[in-house]
Structure 1
Amino acid sequence: MKQKLLLAGGLVLGFSATVQASQSLGSSFTLGSSANPASLMTSLSNPAAPYFMVNSDEGDSFRTGILGPVSVGYEVGEVDSLEDKIDELDDLLDQEVTTVTQALEIQNQANDLIAQMGQDANLKVMLGMPVPIFPVIYKANNGNTFMLDVSVSSIAKGNFLDDDIDVVIDDSGNYALETNSSLYAKAGVDLNIGLGYSSEVFNSDSGTLVLGTKLNFHSVTLGKALLHLESSDEDTEDAFSDAFSDQQETTTGFGLDLGAIWAADHYQIGIQGTNLNEPSFAYGELPSDCTSATPLNQQSCEAALAFASAGDIELKEDYTMERQFALEASTFVFDRQLSLAASYELNEVADLVGDDYQWATLSSAYYSSSSFIPAVRVGYKKNMAGSELSYAMFGATLFKRLNLDLAYGLDKVEIDGDEQPRSLYFSAGIESAF
C-alpha cells in the first residue's frame, strides 16, 4: 500500500502532459485581454486588436512572432503536507487489526484523511506556445488587417477520488480494511489555427471604431484514466500511462469569435465574444464493462464503474468550448507609452479538464521608444470562479523583442514544511518590435 500511495501522491503532485485554455500566452499573462500595440500576444484576445498591432503610418505592413512565447504553469489544491498525510494513512492501513473496535477506530481516522485528500489533493499543469513565427499580421494600405495564428496548448489535471474505507472479514477470518479510493487524471491538447480579419468602420476626431472576427479551427485530443490505490504494484505506472494512451480521442471543430474596439487619443474600450457557436469535442471513454480487463487493470476498472455509478466521474463525456463575453478598458498618457488597463470576463466557462475560470485583470505598463530602456508591466489577476486563485504579475520587454512574464500565486500551500504558492506561471518569448 505504501508504494501505491506514494505513486498516487507523486502523480497528483507531479503529473505532466505534452495548457492552457484557462490562461493567456506571453505578455497577456500580465495585461489580460486588453489590446496593447506594444504586446503582440494581446492580439490573440479581441479579434479587433490585430488592426492596432501594425503601424501603417510608418510604412509597416507586417508584424510577426519569432519564437514562443513558451508559457508554463501549475496549480495545486489547498492541502498542506500531502506526503505526511499519505504516510499517516499508510501507517493506519498497515496496522494489524485484531478487534472490531480497533478496526472501527482506524476506519474513522483513515476516512477523515481520505475525505480531506479527496477535497483538496489535486494538481493541474499547463503548457502553451504559438508555432514559431506566428501569429502573422498583415495590414493592407486600405486598413484591412488579416491575422493567421497557429498555437498548441495542453493541460493535465490529477485528482484524488475518495471512497469510504469499509471493514471486512477476509478469507482467514481476520478483520481488513478496503476502499475504492483512486487517482483520476484528465488531459487535453488543443491545436488551434485561427484566421482573423479586422477593419476600421468609423473614424472621427473623437476616435476610431474597429470591428473584427476570427474563425478558429481546433483539433482537440482529450483523454482520461483512473488508477485504483490497491491495484497490483507491478508496473502500475506503465499501466496508468498505457490506459491514458488507449483512452483518448481526437476530434475537430470550429469556433467563431467577434470583437469591437473604440480607440481615442487617451482611452480605449472594447468588447469581445469567443466561441459564439460553442463547438464540442469528445473525450476518450473509460471502459463500461470489466469482463475483458486484465488482472492488473481489474480493480481500477471496477473502481471506475463504482465512481461513475455514484456520479463522481463520467465514463463517456464531451467537452464544450462555452460561449464567453469580456469587456476591456484602457487609458493612456505620454503618447500612449504609459497605460492603465482592466479587463473582465462576464461569465464563467470551463477549461479542457472541466475547471471553471472567469478572469478579472488590472494592469499597468510602460513602454519606451528606446530599444535600450526595458518596457515594464505589472498587474493583478483573480479567477472569479472555480479555484478563485489570485496572482501578482510582473513582466518586462528587453530590446523591444524579448518578453519575460511571471504570474505569482498569492494563495499558499505547505510543501515539505515550507510555504509555496499554490499557483505559478512563467512565460518567455521573442517577437518583432512594436
Structure 2
Amino acid sequence: MRWTPLTAAALATLLPLTAAANHHPAGSALGFGDATRFADTQGSKQNPAGPIAASDRGVRMGVFALGLSYELGDVADFSDDFEALGEELEDLERLLEEVESGDVDPDNAEDEIESFQANVNEILDRIGEDGYLTAGVTGQFVPFPFETTQDALRGSLLIDLDYSLRGHISVLRGEDLDLSIDDQDDAGDALDTLDGFGGYVRSAVTRTFTLGYGSAVYENRQGLLFAGAQLKHHQVELSRMAVGFDDDPGSQLSDEFRENAETDSDLGVDLGVMWVSDRYRAGASVANLIEPTFDYPAVEDDDTFDAAAERGEIDRDESYRMERQLSVEGAVHTDDGRWLLGGSLDLNPADGPFAAGSEDAYQWLTVGAAYRSPHAALPGWRLGYRQNLTGSELGYLTGGVTLFRVLSLDAAMSTETVDSVPRAFMLNAGVGLRF
C-alpha cells in the first residue's frame, strides 16, 4: 500500500470547490493582521464597519483572490509513520488470517505476532495523539468583493461571495494492541480488533454570500463613529469517513468520500463599529451573532467508524457550529495615512469545523505595521505577527507586498517547525481595482 496523509488531503481538496475559513484571513489581512487596513477591500473585511470607514466615494472590487494553507501536528515523520503503520497492520492481518485458517500454528506465530504488535504500538505512541494534517484553499472571482460608497446610499454597500475548502486527517488509535493468540478463534477476534485502527478524514466546503451596509452614525470635532452590519448566507458541505489501514484507503476515499457528505445552509449576522480620528482608530465587532450550525452526515455500516465511535473517538452526531466571537482592534497612523501600526484581539475562542478530536480552534492576536507608497509604481509593504491563543497555539511571522496598487501577495509562516519545515503556512494572492 502506497498511501500517506498527504494523499488523503489531496483527494479531499479535489472535491468541487463550493466554501470561508476563519483560520485563513482574507487578502492583505494575512500579512498585516486583522485590524482594519484602509488600503484595499480585503484589508477592511474583518470588521463590518470597515468598508464604510475605509472608503472614499467610488467603487472598489476584486478581480480574483486565491489562498492556500496547511498545518501539521507536532509529530516528526508523520507521513512516513502513517504509511509504515498501514504496512505493519497489513502484515499482521495476513498472519492472523493464516492462523485463523489453520495454515499456521498459533504457537509458531507467537513471536512474529508480538513483534508486529510492538511495532504497531510504537508507531501509535508517536503519532496517535498529536498527528494530524489540515490543508485548505480559498478563492474569490470577479467582481467580488464589490464595494461602493455613494452619497445616494448615505453609506457603503458591500456584496461578497467567497469560497473555501479545508480537509483534515487524524489517527484513530484506540488502546495499545494486546493480542493473545492461543487458537484459531482468538485469531478471528484479533482481526476484529484491527478494524478499529485507521485514519479519520473530514472536509468542510463552504460558499458564503455576504450583503453588508455601513454608515456614519455620529460625528464631532474629534472624529466619526461608523457602524456596519452584514447578513451572510452559508452553504456548507460536510464530509467524513473512517479509513482502515488494512484496506485500500486511496481507492476507498475516491469511491466513497462524496457519498458520506451532507449539504446544508444557514444564515449568519456580523456587526461592527469603528471610531476614526485624525491619528488613530478603534473598533469592535461580533461575528456569527446567531451561530449558524451544520450537521455532519451519519456513517453507516463502517467497522472502523463504529469501533472508534464506541471508544468515544468519534461523535456519531458531530456538528459544526460557527461560534459567536467578539473582537477588538486599534491602529495609529500618520496624518497622510501612509504609515500604519495596528493590532487586534479575539476576546474568546471559537471552534473550527474539525474541533472534535483536533486542534481546530482559533483565537487570534495580531499586530502589524504597513506602509503605502505615494506612487503607484512603488510597492507598498506590511509586516506583522499573529498568534493563535487556543487550539494549536501556533505563532506566525507575516508579511506582504502590494504592486502597482492592484496586485497583493501575502504570506504567514509558523515559528514552530517539524521535520525542518514550518508546521503551518498560509499564502494569499489577489488583484483588486478602485475607481
Superposition TM-score, scaled by structure 1 size: 0.87
1:257–1:174 Cα change, 3 Å: closer
Matched AA of 1:396: V
* Aligned-partner Cα distance in 1 for 2:10–2:207: 24
Distance 1:350 1:102, change over 3 A: same
Contact 1:13 1:122 in 2 (8 A): no
Q: How much has 1:110 moved relative to structure 2?
A: 2.5
Match of 1:295 in 2: none
- Partners of 1:271 and 1:423 lie apart in 2 by 28
Identity of aligned pairs, percent? 29
| Larger mean Cα displacement after TM superposition, 389-398 or 313-322 | 313-322
Q: Kindly report which structure 2 residues correspond to 1:244-263, keeping only aligned pairs within 5 A, or say none.
A: 244-263=257-276
2:201 to 180, 185, 188: 185
Asked if the contact 2:228/2:273 (under 8 Å) is kept, the reply is: yes
Given candidates 115, 133, 148, the residue that maps to 1:138 is: 148
Task: Please tell me whether residue 154 in structure 1 is matched to residue 165 in structure 2.
Answer: yes
- For 1:242 and 1:214, the matched residues in 2 are separated by 39
Residue identity matched to 2:214 = S
Does structure 1 residue 66 correspond to structure 2 residue 53?
Answer: no
SS in 2 for 1:119: coil
Rounded to whole Å, the distance in 2 between the matches of 1:89 and 1:73 is: 26
Map Cα deviations across residues 392-418 of structure 1 (whole Å, 9 max, x no partner).
11100000100000111111011xxxx
Counterpart residue number, 2:317: 316
Residue 392, structure 1, aligned to residue 397, structure 2: yes
Partner of 1:298: none
AA paired with 2:63?
A: I
Query: Which of residues 203, 209, 216 is equivalent to 2:225?
Result: 209
Counterpart of 1:380, as a letter, is Y
Q: C-alpha displacement at 1:203, in angstroms?
A: 1.0
Match of residue 241 from structure 2: 225
User: Match for residue 297 of structure 2?
Assistant: 284
Is the CA contact (8 Å cut-off) linking 1:257 and 1:276 kept in structure 2? yes
**In structure 2, how many angstroms separate the alpha carbons of the residues matched to 1:311 and 1:26?**
39
Q: Name the amino acid aligned to 1:403.
A: S
- Relative to 1, partners in 2 of residues 1:136 and 1:410: Cα closer, same or farther, differing over 3 Å? same
Distance 2:187 2:340 in 1: 71
User: In structure 2, what is the equivalent of residue 165 of structure 1?
Assistant: 177
TM-align CA RMSD:
2.4
**Cα distance, 1:107 vs. partner?**
2.8
Give the aligned length.
Answer: 406
Q: How far 1:32 moved relative to its partner? A: 2.5
- Unpaired runs of at least 5, structure 2: 96-106
> 1:151 and 1:91, CA in 2 relative to 1: closer, same or farther beyond 3 A?
closer
Question: Which residue of the partner structure matches residue 256 of structure 2?
Answer: 243
Contact 1:400 1:433 in 2 (8 A): no
Q: Any conservation in 2 of the 1:8–1:183 contact (CA below 8 Å)?
A: no
Residue correspondence of structure 1 range 13-412 to structure 2 within 5 A:
14=10, 16-17=12-13, 18=17, 20-56=21-57, 61-67=58-64, 69-86=65-82, 89=85, 94=91, 98=108, 100=110, 103-104=113-114, 106-141=116-151, 143-163=154-174, 164-169=176-181, 171=184, 179=194, 180-231=196-247, 233=248, 236-287=249-300, 290=301, 301-354=302-355, 355-412=360-417
Task: Note the C-alpha offset of 1:52.
Answer: 2.7
Relative to 1, partners in 2 of residues 1:211 and 1:124: Cα closer, same or farther, differing over 3 Å?
Answer: same
Q: Does the CA contact (< 8 Å) of 1:27 and 1:403 recur in 2?
A: yes
Q: How far does the alpha carbon of each residue in 1:190-249 deviate from its partner, in whole angstroms, 9 at most, with x for none? A: 111111110101111101100111100111111101111123x3xx42322232111111
Aligned 8 A contact 2:85 2:245 in 1:
no
SS of equivalent residue, structure 1 residue 50: helix
CA distance in 2, matches of 1:431, 1:390: 28
In the alignment, the residues of structure 1 paired with residue 239 and residue 186 of structure 2 have an alpha-carbon distance, to the nearest angstrom, of 41
Distance 1:228 1:366, change over 3 A: same
Match for 1:153: what amino acid? Answer: S
Moved more, 311-320 or 194-203: 311-320
Find the aligned partners of 2:121 and 2:367 in 1 and give their Cα distance.
Answer: 42
Cα drift, residue 352 of structure 1: 2.2
Q: Decide which moves more: 257-266 or 99-108.
A: 99-108
Where 1:432 maps in the other structure, the secondary structure is strand
Q: Helix, strand or coil: the match of 2:75?
A: coil
Which sits farther off after the overlay, 266-275 or 46-55? 46-55
1:294 matched to which residue of 2?
A: none
Deviations 1:163-190 (A, max 9, x none): 3324253639889785321111110111
* C-alpha distance in structure 2 between counterparts of 1:247 and 1:87, whole Å: 24
Once the two structures are TM-superposed, the CA of residue 327 in structure 1 deviates from its matched residue by 0.5
Deviation at 1:84, TM superposition (A): 4.6
Deviations 1:97-145 (A, max 9, x none): 8464664465344313213211122110111122321111121216411
Q: Which residue of 2 is the match for residue 413 of structure 1?
A: 418
Give me the whole-angstrom Cα distance separating, in 1, the residues matched to 2:86 and 2:230.
Answer: 53
Report the equivalent of 2:432.
Answer: 431
Deviation at 1:386, TM superposition (A): 0.4
Q: 2: distance between equivalents of 1:131 and 1:379?
A: 27
CA distance in 1, matches of 2:387, 2:120: 35
SS at match of 1:73: strand
Q: TM-score, normalised by structure 2?
A: 0.87
Q: Is the 8 A contact 2:5 2:133 kept in 1?
A: no
Aligned partner of residue 167 in structure 1, secondary structure: coil
Which letter does structure 1 place at the counterpart of 2:163? V
Query: Quick one: distance in 2 between partners of 1:197 and 1:187?
Result: 32
